[in-house]
Amino acid sequence: MTDVRVRFCPSPTGNPHVGMIRTALFNWAYARHTGGTFVFRIEDTDSARDSEQSYLDLLDAMRWLGLDWDEGPEVGGPYGPYRQSQRLERYDDVADRLRAAGYAYPCYCTPAELAQRREAALAAGRTPGYDGQCRELTADQRASFEAEGRSPALRFRMPGTDFTWDDLVRGEMHVGADHVPDYVLVRGNGEPLYTLVNPVDDALMDITHVLRGEDLLSSTPRQLALYDALRAVGVTERPTPAFGHLPYVMGEGNRKLSKRDPESSLNMYRESGYLPEGLTNYLALLGWSIGDDREFFGKDEMAQHFEVSRVNPNPARFDLKKCRAINGDWIRFLPADEIGRRLVPYLAAAGLVADPPTEDQQRIIDDVMPLIHERMDTLDQAAPMIGFLFVPDDRLVIDPVDAAKILTDGSVEVLTTARDVLAALTDWTTPEIERALRTALVEGLGLKPKLAFGPVRLAVTGRRISPPLFESLELLGRESSLARIDACARG
Ligand code: GLU
Ligand code: ZN
């Protein structure tokens, strides 16, 4: 173990989204690459927005993705607790120390007053932002505000210096002092804000590297200043962590991918049958590359090669087609029996099999896997392709749109001819089935293969597109195949 300590610290609001998971993945990879510690911390101090369900979903998402954490919820660790809602007295203590030492001061301004002064600043062409009104209040002035019943917020006193840091991703960064006004650490009602709790926990948890989204860039100078104050009041003796800001992820139309975009929801990927391997592989490419133009790699391989200096600061474009294609590559890469196992929940959700499947259902899954393994990009494509193998003959639904495309006046002749030669077969095997149908339909009736086999396929699978036909007939068995062809011929 090295002393590298990184953290993933989401707020449990709403559903996990891809931007958040990219951040988790990059931190995880950095910890694994350096032999450091991956800390998972829950930033749940906003009681109005946080929910327990969201918290449980986050844990579940991390487990599904295979992003194991060394310290955090359920795992514990020497810096716990790892849910901020359980650390409130620590923040109170730090706030008291900052106030006592003059690094923070009570601010009595009401939201309405702040808004009014902001308007005035804008109108006068001055930079809006807190104007320092409560910085130097006398004891008397404070007392009279208190007497009015105002409960003050706690505001951090910025040091008035410019900021420079060497961003791990973006290189040297400068922010002028006038861009970072004094900011609120604790609300008037006593609720500590992200501005306080996030850097305080980074300090108390000895975090060495902060890798997070570019949307948080503007909080970095504030945190640099706060860190100095935290050292001054004895909260930590450690150096300020190094910061690296991961590039924005752009969606359709070159605007930032938003939490509300459907392709940003992790649940969408899980429901439509992405593999965690495929999704993490794709998300790794959002701002990082393994170096040799390779786009297919596992997360352990990512960890092995992960250098923050190779993160590209330019916005990354989210391409759902590519994400899907990489997922398809992963489905083909993993062994058929493994994919067969992962298909079960999707087949069960479609009402085709029990979970776990019965012995008969398992046998069908094992037999059909070689036929569909190469044909899926997502696991949810399996149920419509192979559903015909699991339904009773009289419950097979013939897709009406497909039927309109496939069935012609000649179809009845095709079907009855097929039925007769299949009924006469002694060996019900793929090569025999193929030979019999080719001889009877292509040679005998003089049909092009598409016209010859389309109606048979529709009759037995209910669809225009299916796994390979002769193999499908073999798997379905003679009795069912003949019954379905008969039924379709009768209309
Ligand atoms: N809880 C913050 C968020 O989810 C964490 C930000 C950070 O990494 O500093 O945006
Ligand atoms: Zn004020």
pLDDT tens per residue, range 152-185: 999 999 999 999 999 999 999 999 999 999 999 9
9 CB under 6 A from ligand 1? yes
- The best mutation among 6, 43, 205, 259 to test binding of ligand 1, ranked by most ligand atoms within 8 Å of the C-beta, falls on 43
Q: Cα(401)–Cα(97) distance, rounded to whole angstroms?
A: 72
Adjacent-strand bridge partners of 210:
243
Q: Which ligand is nearest to the CA of 153?
A: 2
Q: What is the pTM (predicted TM-score) of this model?
A: 0.94
Q: Which ligand is nearest to the CA of 39?
A: 1
**Predicted confidence band at 97 (pLDDT cuts at 50, 70, 90)?**
very high
Q: Cα(135)–Cα(140) distance, rounded to whole angstroms?
A: 14
Of the listed ranges 65-69, 124-128, 395-399, the one predicted with least confidence? 124-128
Active site residues: 259
The tens digit of pLDDT for each residue in 418-436 reads: 999 999 999 999 999 999 9
Q: Cα(154)–Cα(175) distance, rounded to whole angstroms?
A: 23
408 C-alpha to ligand 1 centroid (Å): 61
Q: Are 22 and 61 in contact (CB under 8 A)?
A: no
209 CB under 6 A from ligand 1? no
176 C-alpha to ligand 1 centroid (Å): 23
308 C-alpha to ligand 2 centroid (Å): 40
Widest CA span of the chain, in angstroms? 107
Q: Which ligand is nearest to the CA of 130?
A: 2
The Cα angle at residue 436 between residues 430 and 441, in degrees rounded to 5: 120
Residue nearest to atom 7 of ligand 1 (CA): 212
- Strands of 5-8's sheet in order across: 37-40, 5-8, 209-213, 242-246
11 CB under 6 A from ligand 1? yes
Q: Are 336 and 373 in contact (CB under 8 A)?
A: yes
- The best mutation among 9, 20, 193 to test binding of ligand 1, ranked by most ligand atoms within 8 Å of the C-beta, falls on 9
219 C-alpha to ligand 2 centroid (Å): 20
